[in-house]
Amino acid sequence: ILVDGNSASASEILTGALKDNKRATVIGSRTFGKAAVQSVHSLSDGSGLTVTVSRYYLPSGEDISLKGIVPDIRQELTLEQRQQLSSQPGWRGTSKDPQYGKAIAVLKSTTASEPGNLSQPINSGRVW
């Protein structure tokens, strides 16, 4: 799973669950750390009030609020790389994106050298 500081909320729930259960390798940079469920209440003056109504934790019990998920394989971007990707959004998910390139290299390496190491279905009897 490829993540960065823009990965938040629902994507962190999925990433954290798969990582904790050793069902995925997480690559990239630390996620945002939004482990809260919020409700927005509209006010009569047109403004709104956001209230945190719930929190979630990873299957391990870890609270990722404000600290995010640390990838298994870190591929940080330099300031220059972040600026380039920001000014050239079409580069994301291409060979010009260092994090994407790292993820593809890891995927190719894993499938080529360890074909038997690919994820297999879990039959734990538990329902999620």
Give tens-digit pLDDT for 60-118: 999 999 999 999 999 999 999 999 999 999 999 999 999 999 999 998 888 766 656 55
Q: Considering Cα of 58, then 63, then 68, then 71, what sign does the dihedral take?
A: negative
Per-residue confidence band for 5, with pLDDT thresholds at 50, 70 and 90 = very high
- Residue 25 tokens read as 């390798």
Pairwise CA distance, residues 105 & 59, whole Å: 28
* Residues ≥6 apart with Cβ < 8 Å to 60: 20
Per-residue confidence band for 10, with pLDDT thresholds at 50, 70 and 90 = very high
| Cα 66 from chain centre | 14
Q: Does the annotation count 119 as an active-site position?
A: no
Residue 110, pLDDT score: 81
Residue ranges of alpha helices (H) inside the chain are 10-20, 79-87, 98-113
Beta bridge partners of 48: 42
Q: Does the annotation count 34 as an active-site position?
A: yes
Residue 116, pLDDT score: 60
Annotated catalytic residue, options 7, 9, 39, 124? 9
| 2-16, 22-36, 85-99, 110-124: least confident range | 110-124
Domains and CATH numbers, the chain: 2-115 (3.90.226.10)
- Residue 14 tokens read as 């999925």
Residue 64, pLDDT score: 96
Annotated catalytic residue, options 7, 19, 29, 34? 34
Does the reported pTM lie above 0.85? no
- Percent over 70 (pLDDT), the chain: 86
- Residue 73 tokens read as 């394989």
Segment 37-64 mean pLDDT: 96
Segment 13-38 mean pLDDT: 96
